[in-house]
Amino acid sequence: MLKYLPLVALLLATACTMEKEKEKEPLYTSPAFTVYADGVVQGDNVASVLSPTHLRSNYRSPASATFSRLVQFKISINEKDNELPPGQNHWVLIGDEHESAIIPFGSAPAPVPDNPLTYLPVNYPYTFRVDMSAVLDQFARQGYFEAFDGSKVAQADFKGFYVAGGSLPLSWDFVGLDEKGLKLQPTADPNIYTLSVILNPFKETDTQDREWQLTTDLTSRPQYHSDQPLVDALFNLSLEEATKNIEPDSTFRTGAKWAGVWTRDISYSIILAFAYHEPEVAKISLRKKVKRGRIIQDTGSGGAWPVSSDRTTWVLAAWEIYQVTGDEAWLEEIYPIIKNTLDDDYLTLYDPQTGMFCGESSFLDWREQTYPKWMSNMDIYVSQNLGTNVVHYRAEQIMADLAKIRGEPWEVYAQRAAQIKKGINAHLWLPDRGYYAQYVYGRPELVTSPRFEALGEALAVLYGVADPERAAAIVSRSPVTDYGVTCIYPQIPGIPPYHNNGIWPFVQSYWNLAAAKAGNEAVLNQGLASIYRAGALFLTNYENFVAQTSDFLGTEINSDRMLWSMAGNLAMVHRVFMGMSFTPAGLSFQPAVPQVYGGSRSLTNFKYRRALLDITVNGFGNRVQSMTMDGQPLAGNLVPHDLVGKHEIRIELANNPFPGKGINRVPNHFSLPAPQVNTNGNRLEWQLVGGGTAKYYLVYRNGVLVEKTTATQYEVPPANYANYQVSAVDDPGYESFTSEPIIFANTVLQFELENYAPLAKLAYTNFSGKGFVEVSTTGNRAIEMKITVPKAGNYRLDLRYSNGSGPWNTDNKCAIRSLSVNGAYQGVLVLPQRGQDEWSDWGFSNSRQVALMAGENTVKISLEDWNNNMNVDVNTAMLDYLRVTAVDN
């Protein structure tokens, strides 16, 4: 027997070697990075799995080593982008000097040079010097400064001068300049202001190797084990981070840097993972986002709702908790909240012309990051976004189901859902691209923005807005870059990374779920690699990273230990590899396991209602060959909702490839900037876009394409009313944003509000007529106006107003009023915040198209129950005049 021992040893050694070689076969490889079962390699950056509870990474951010000497910036008044037109920036090319020349505010910058071949040293002190006499002289002469775009900054509203830019510590986040310490300071010369900063800030600890080791007892949590140690370790890392994000009040904090509960963050996180991982914490967190029996829209653009309108993500999360838990008391609690919210939203957001709802892109809530610079918060309210509308569609579906369960009328909600779905497919589908457009937008006529929006596309697949054919096209034809699916595509030029030029792991997670549902193995495998690369190299669940560089440094804001990022990581195990899906009837399984992730995986100690499950999935593919519970076949691959006790689930996959229709790998790409269009009599004129690289231009009239041209002008034919926009198309065929709308109108009437309500006795300026009227929750709650028009026809009505209740980018005091004409409700007029205490900054509300009779008509502007904003107590605006524009030709 002894003579065979050398042979046995050789066979064992060969088997071990083969097993190790198998472990070194990559799960995913590309020119950008490679993911192995036990680690990640990206150039010199390596992450290694030492055990399921121990990871090591030597990741080095390239940001400090490649910090450009070319620094672009703008000067800002009151933290607004009001010095130079979009696309024009001041610049300095820093050599050995530590201060700039004196730069006059508003001066035309020279063409930006190429980036130099050398980089700026770390921790480099530098002083910006600017001459503000152009502003100060106008303040002294006329009491306000008029910017390049015609907007006015009243001297009484002045808060300070700032420097914005794209080189750290500068930031293009204009509304955050003060808190970032970027305020210019006066000098002995009253016209000269300076700002001293440390460019290319750097910490020595950023160059050190880092490790993650589990320090939290997770034995009471689900345990995951597979043939991919990397997945096991990142599952444990995410579980630990989730436990650390539970606050003393049993709510989830949003991230390591951000305390508190945010409606969309917690909702998307609950849907992904926390309805089943922490259902009670999830419930408590959602309760924090209810006021007046309605869902709270978090502080946001122009004062939150209805500019931002995706609070209905809460509905999807609350329903998911019910599907997981079967808690009837929870169902009774959420029903009136959902009903009240949806009914208010319908009266405020619904557009009968398109069948869709108005409001900002869901989660993409940083204005210029996903919208053209010319769009105000009012314009964002008017826009109709893919992701937000899919959320509203699903919320209406859920409300119909809730009403059915309670035996109450449900048809109206099902009808609303059908209208939204029809509107999305009619107005947003791009047949030439094979995916949906991100939104329609305009002022007031709407055009389509053909950009891709990852989250909205994924939600459309997951919630059935896209039929199976369109779903397959979306997943296979949508653009996917080296490091994952970008929030939007193509990127917007001149806008720093965040949503723009950014990849967000939670969005990638929803995209992966869509790929799994559509049966596209290549897209799913690339998406899994995107999540595991970032988690392993960064050793935490960051919120985002730069699409162009793959680095977590370089986006406008970032945080580690982000709730929705860790939820996405966990969901890859539960919802993809294990294939879990929760319904009122039970827990179903439909795993989607790419072949490279084949083998065996187990999830033990999983609590489902009154049952405790140990689940094993063997093999690869997306077809279940057999499924048993406690050794007996399980009908319909469904664990019944009333199961009790401990059970063993075993799933054998069919080992089938699921290739789908391929993957559309693309380089990261930036569109051209929007044309800057001016009028010269009845002619539209613009400069060559992109230094003449535009292939052609598209001219829109009233939202309809009327001209494709290589010229830089367009003759406007005579018309009583016309609204024009121009976009530029680049060589690959991607369209820029359109230019700001230019309206030609022959009949524009103006009705001063002070002729219909008491004149406000407030010392604000820049108004029209004799003054203005203050409306609030207690004053002028209803204003009735008798107006006369020369002939019957269609007219657009809007209000010139001011709202200084809060900054233009956040808070919750957007003013809202209902418009009725001749006794018929026409919709709301939305009056977003325009700047904290900037009551002399005037703009226009959204408009409503109405039919007026020749002669006298009655217009009523009132505060109704559904006009309560998120603040409730402060719903204030100054009204200057009602503008009435004839739109018939």
C-alpha to C-alpha distance for 403 and 411, rounded to whole angstroms: 9
C-beta atoms surrounding 69 within 10 Å: 19
| pLDDT tens readout for residues 473-508 | 999 999 999 999 999 999 999 888 999 999 999 999
| DSSP code, position 544 | -
C-alpha to C-alpha distance for 457 and 518, rounded to whole angstroms: 12
| pLDDT tens readout for residues 523-562 | 999 999 999 999 999 999 999 999 999 999 999 899 999 9
Show Cβ contacts of residue 284 under 8 Å, excluding neighbours closer than 6 positions.
249, 250, 251
pLDDT-derived band at 166 (thresholds 50, 70, 90) equals: confident
Contact 258/270 with Cβ under 8 angstroms? no
C-alpha to C-alpha distance for 415 and 422, rounded to whole angstroms: 10
Show Cβ contacts of residue 104 under 8 Å, excluding neighbours closer than 6 positions.
130, 131, 133, 134
Omega of the bond prior to 169 within 30 degrees of 0, cis? Answer: yes
pLDDT at 21: 43
pLDDT at 401: 97
Contact 562/255 with Cβ under 8 angstroms? yes
pLDDT at 810: 86
pLDDT at 206: 63
What is the distance of C-alpha 204 from the center of its chain?
33
| pLDDT tens readout for residues 277-294 | 999 999 999 999 999 999
C-alpha to C-alpha distance for 73 and 71, rounded to whole angstroms: 7
Q: Is the pLDDT of residue 828 over 90?
A: yes
Structure tokens at 748: 């524009």
C-alpha to C-alpha distance for 279 and 301, rounded to whole angstroms: 31
- State the DSSP H helix or E strand holding residue 320, giving kind and residue range, or none if neither: helix 313-325
C-alpha to C-alpha distance for 554 and 171, rounded to whole angstroms: 10
C-alpha to C-alpha distance for 144 and 428, rounded to whole angstroms: 42
| pLDDT tens readout for residues 8-32 | 444 344 344 434 444 579 999 999 9
pTM for the predicted model, two decimal places: 0.93
pLDDT-derived band at 370 (thresholds 50, 70, 90) equals: very high
pLDDT-derived band at 431 (thresholds 50, 70, 90) equals: very high
DSSP secondary structure of 737-783: PPPPPEEEES-EEEEEGGGTSPPP-----S-STT--EEE-SSS-SEE
pLDDT-derived band at 207 (thresholds 50, 70, 90) equals: low
pLDDT-derived band at 619 (thresholds 50, 70, 90) equals: very high
Helix, strand, coil percent content, the chain, rounded in steps of 5: 30, 30, 40
Q: What Å distances lie between residue 681 and 2, 85, 520, 697, 710, CA to CA? A: 103, 22, 54, 20, 21
Contact 606/615 with Cβ under 8 angstroms? yes
Residue 349's nearest CA partner among 288, 278, 423, 292 is 423
The stretches of 429-546 forming alpha helices (DSSP H) are 454-462, 468-477, 505-518, 521-538
C-beta atoms surrounding 654 within 10 Å: 14
| pLDDT tens readout for residues 794-814 | 999 999 999 999 998 889 999
Q: Is the pLDDT of residue 262 over 80?
A: yes
pLDDT-derived band at 661 (thresholds 50, 70, 90) equals: confident
Contact 858/823 with Cβ under 8 angstroms? yes
The domains located in the chain, with CATH, are 2-57 (no CATH), 70-201 (no CATH), 228-359+383-434+444-584 (1.50.10.10), 671-745 (2.60.40.10), 748-886 (2.60.120.260)
C-alpha to C-alpha distance for 91 and 361, rounded to whole angstroms: 32
What is the distance of C-alpha 286 from the center of its chain?
20
pLDDT at 266: 98
Q: Which residue has the higher pLDDT, 132 or 690?
A: 132
- What percentage of the chain carries pLDDT values higher than 70? 97
What is the distance of C-alpha 513 from the center of its chain?
18
pLDDT at 17: 42
pLDDT at 809: 86
pLDDT at 7: 41
Average pLDDT over residues 426-443: 98
| Mean pLDDT estimate for the chain | 95
